Structure 1
């Protein structure tokens, strides 16, 4: 057997025999596809949360207006600015989340394959997202800065080097706390709402050919609820990652946002984020459910 045949056989055996590898690959695939589709909404959300002196303009507060300004300045490709760091973050990040979730569920389900209860779902989702969030925080910082229009980097590698040279490890990990406050509760609440919504659907419906639309609908409901609850943490995360030198910690950002914008400041960018996170999570989970089923994980 030549080297290439051996490597191909080894890779196939690895995928076939290790469920965590299957979960990682299925998660990466589902996350990549949904990220590409909904990147424009993430870009607009970041621009809405950025200070008013960004390159978009001084008085642009409407989602539709920002869409128009981006199209006017950078044309259609401009809506996918920040795609490279987004993909670099999503491929390992979503894969790590789903594989961590699969591993944690295997530890708690006692091999019976049952769906987790509400509190267990919250704990599993938060734990899995915390693992991936901590590991991928440098790419989250770089992605946010690319999308903001405040920073002009030549690429992901240059951004990483520039941030590390000027700000050190602290710069690459800034906003970690609000990121976890946003992502961990979102994933926990999302998984709880998602599993409970699926549990309310008759079992024969879930086994039918219409199970993909059902999964997607359950994901929509879960995403709307989880996005709204975690929106303030997303605003704080964006502020800290764009201007780390301006704030000494999360308390400073909380007071800054309240003083400058009032309570509504904590919900800046809610519409595009709710649309993106809801549709992206619903699509990612739908694709993940179908892929894992075809791989024999379900």
Structure 2
């Protein structure tokens, strides 16, 4: 008698792994990894973003000839708005950064796999990948970015994000929801491109095999490379960030980039284009370094090469 061999039964964990693999496209996995990394970094570094916005929007009469530093603004916020005031704008920051980082990393992974087929990017390819990914994310999240900036400034008393969207649309139209978009892209796209270039180039300088000696060394190497890349990219893009902030807070006064440049220079001088540079550099550097470190660790756990 001939017995037909039965197929091996799948164990419960095998079924779960198979279903998970079929359901989640690599691009979606990259989106999820980016969203989680964005959540962690946003919660930690929101106070630095608020201090940056407040420093950039100080009126000339508020500081006169003396410089107002980050510590003075920090103490003023804590004294007048309580320590929790440092996290003002947290809701739009989360709504912006969580899907925004997911869109950025998901797009980055998809573009890298499509155009590079898994090969390490050159310096120019890194810039193009960063610019393209951030531009898509920036356009998608522009309305939330406007609300976030206005929350952080302390000049607007929106009760919720929904009422903020309604108020802006009613008073300024759809253009209000995308105010400062060009300046935002001029800030974020070059930052991401320059950051990714420096990040990949710095990682390439690490001796091969060094980060494989111990699993605990890899995140440290990634974070260190991120710090170096973030500092350099922040310095280059700081003026665009100042212009973006003013255009989003006062769209009637700052209607286009050239006009914003003239008015900022008239009111603050050349130094005005670098106001808030310290907290922004700290936040963007630490946030980007943490985001990339968490992203690469999670991608490795999922068996994907970032």
Q: TM-score, normalised by structure 2?
A: 0.90
Matches within 5 A, 1:187-198: 187-198=192-203
User: How far apart are the structure 2 equivalents of 1:29 and 1:51?
Assistant: 33
Deviates more, 1:204-213 or 1:14-23: 14-23
C-alpha deviations, 1:120-157, integer Å up to 9, x for none?
10010000000000010000000000000111110111
CA drift at 1:257: 1.0
Matches of 1:10 and 1:127, distance apart in 2 = 33
Q: In the alignment, which residue of structure 1 is the partner of 2:124?
A: 119
Q: Are the counterparts in 2 of residues 15 and 22 from structure 1 also a CA contact under 8 Å?
A: no
Q: Does 1:273 align with 2:283?
A: no
Paired residues for 1:127-276 under 5 Å:
127-207=132-212, 208-209=214-215, 210-276=217-283
Name structure 2 gaps, 5 residues minimum.
1-15
* 1:43 to 2:47 alignment: no
Preserved CA contact (<8 Å) 1:179 1:233: yes
Q: Deviations over 1:19-46 (max 9, x none)?
A: 0110000000001100110000000000
Q: Would the aligned equivalents of 1:218 and 1:282 in 2 still touch at CA under 8 Å?
A: yes
Cα distance in 1 between the residues matched to 2:194 and 2:105: 15
The CA distance in 2 between the partners of 1:12 and 1:82, in whole Å, is 39
In the other structure, the counterpart of 2:71 is: 64
Question: Structure 1 residues 205 and 47 mapped into 2: Cα distance closer, same or farther (>3 Å)?
Answer: same
- Give the CA RMSD over aligned residues: 1.8
Deviation string 1:66-91 (CA, Å, 9 cap, x unpaired) is: 00001001211111000000000011
1:12-23 equivalence runs, <5 A = 13=20, 17-23=24-30
Structure 1 position 51, deviation (Å): 3.8
**Distance between the aligned counterparts of 1:78 and 1:12, measured in 2?**
44
1:233-262 CA distance string (max 9 Å, x none): 000000000000112211100111111112
In 2: Cα distance, 1:156 partner to 1:286 partner: 30
Cα deviation for residue 10 of structure 1 reads 12
Give the equivalent residue in structure 1 for 2:4: none
Contact 1:40–1:79 (8 Å) recurs in 2: yes
Compute the displacement of 1:61 (Å): 2.1
Number of aligned residues: 285
Q: Structure 1 length as normaliser, TM-score?
A: 0.92
Inter-partner Cα distance in structure 2 for 1:15 and 1:42: 39
- In 2, Cα distance between equivalents of 1:223 and 1:278: 4
1:15/1:21 contact within 8 Å kept? no
* TM-fit CA distance, 1:263: 1.2
Structure possessing the higher radius of gyration over alpha carbons: 2
SS across alignment from 2:252: helix
Which of 91, 94, 99 does residue 84 from structure 1 map onto?
Answer: 91
